[in-house]
Amino acid sequence: MLRWLLKTLWLQKASLVASAAGVAGAFVLVVILQAVFAGEARQMVAYARHAPADVWVMQRGVLNMHMANSFVWAWKAKRIAALPGVRAATPILYSGVLVRMRGRTMLAYAVGLEPGAHRAGPWAMAAGKAMPGPGEIVLPRVFAAMTGIGLGAQVGLTDKRLEVVGLSEGTYSMANPVVFVAASDLADLMQAAGTVSYILVEAEPGQDAAALAARIEREVAKVTALPKERFTRNDVQLGMQMGAEIIAFMTLIGSGLAAVIIAFTAYSQVARRRRELAIAKALGVRNREIYAAVGVQTALITGLGLLLALLAAWGLFPLLSALVPQITLELTAGALGRAAAVALVVAAISAWIPARYVARVDPLTAFKG
């Protein structure tokens, strides 16, 4: 029975490929949506990943960077720098700002750098200098690409005018583009004299980060200290949390679309072979065997669709990144696993309609003209 069904599918190659392509289309959308959120969540923590900190110190109760407000007295940086196991403690200011460029307003996060805090600045440059002085700003290169501004241009930061002195690489994410300014400029904007947002702590070689974080929390009042991995994980989780439900719903609707396409194809195949199925039944082939064959058929279409979707996604990723440089795409193993699990469920559901049809085929029709 299975052989017969597979041969039937093979004879209808065009129809099979068309259906698999339709299924692939439905899955591509889901895979890309997941990749967008995963890529964005990863890119959101680009600064935290690259900044020279084994331990991040912030206001007590704050556990991450994105959309958080943290204020710590500036003198605590010196107190931390003097602790055993600490090689360096670099304070930064951090705040959400609006950057105005050529009539466009972009949301960004500004890192305020103290003079000499080179290591807390951008880690890769496309042009210009990495350390902004007072009245200067370093923008992500993507901002410049989007607006056409270059080095020497003036941009607005609330009521300040700053000169673009550098374009950094890898600092853009849709939700969290990072610009760098002098700490004094940002302190002015935030009216935050005498305070810093985060303290980037570098450990002595061989010093365990978790133990150092615990020591800092013991020795310095009213701060939270987190090892880098835990700190960045919190931001990734926050980013994914913001899109979790919408991804779930789009997965559901995309899967529904795939299920209908598969059911349509499988039904078309069995409906066209109604008479042959009747003959098979008249010859003693049991419904159970026919169901199994239909199940394999839908699984085959689903598997082929999923495979095509993954191939299409791999092809589309560089194209989308080139067309829309603002987005970062990342296909994770978890997303692939979820897509495969969804495909299994979709195949099982889609087999139901043709199976129900098969069950109703009357063997007597085999002997009618």
Partner 1 sequence: MWQLAYRQLTAEPLRALLTACAVAAAIAVILVLRGFEQGLYAQLEQAVRARGAPLFVAQAGVSNFIAVRSSLPQLSRGQVEAVAGVAEAHPVTGFFVTYGPEGNRTPIYLLVHDTLGGPSGIVQGEPIRAARDAVIDAGLARRYGLRPGDPLIISDFRFRVAGITRGQSAMLTPFVFIGYDGMIDLFLESEIAPDLSTFPLLSFLLIELAPGAQAEAVALSIERAVPEADVFTSDELAANDVALGRELFSPIMGALIGLAYLIGILVVGLIVYADTIARRRAYGVMKALGFRLRHMLATVSAQTLMVLVLAWPLGLGIALAVAGAIETLAPVYRVYVLEPAGLAWAAAGVLAMALAGAALPLRVVARADPTIAFQAE
| Touching partner 1, residues 13-52 (CB under 8 A) | 14-15, 18-19, 21-22, 25-26, 28-29, 32-33, 36
Q: With contact defined as beta carbons under 8 Å apart, do 94 and 110 qualify? A: yes
Position among 357, 363, 365, 366 found at the interface with partner 1 (CB under 8 A): 357
Binding to partner 1 (CB under 8 A) within 142-201 occurs at 156, 158-160, 174-175, 189-192, 194-195
State which of residues 2, 8, 52, 71 lies at the interface with partner 1 (CB under 8 A).
71
- Give 27: exposed, middle or buried? Use CB within 10 Å, 0-12, 13-18, 19+: buried
Interface residue with partner 1, options 42, 66, 215, 281 (CB under 8 A): 66
351 binds partner 1 (CB under 8 A): no
Residues 215-254 that bind partner 1 (CB under 8 A): 222, 234, 237-238, 241-243, 245-246, 249-250, 252-254
- Pick the piece of the chain touching partner 1 (CB under 8 A) from 77-85, 127-135, 283-291, 318-326: 318-326
67 sits near partner 1 (criterion: CB under 8 A)? yes
Residue closer to partner 1 (CB basis): 21 or 292: 21
Q: Which one of 34, 43, 64, 251 is in contact with partner 1 (CB under 8 A)?
A: 64
Number of residues that bind partner 1 (CB under 8 A): 81
User: Quick one: 191 or 206, whose CB is closer to partner 1?
Assistant: 191
Interacting residues with partner 1 between 253 and 292 (CB under 8 A): 253-254, 256-257, 260-261, 263-265, 267-268, 271-272, 275
Out of 7, 11, 61, 362, name the contact with partner 1 by CB under 8 A. 61
Q: Is the CB of 4 or the CB of 123 nearer to partner 1?
A: 4
Which pair of tokens denotes residue 136?
A: 């200067």
Q: How far is the CB of 280 from partner 1 (least distance, A)?
A: 15
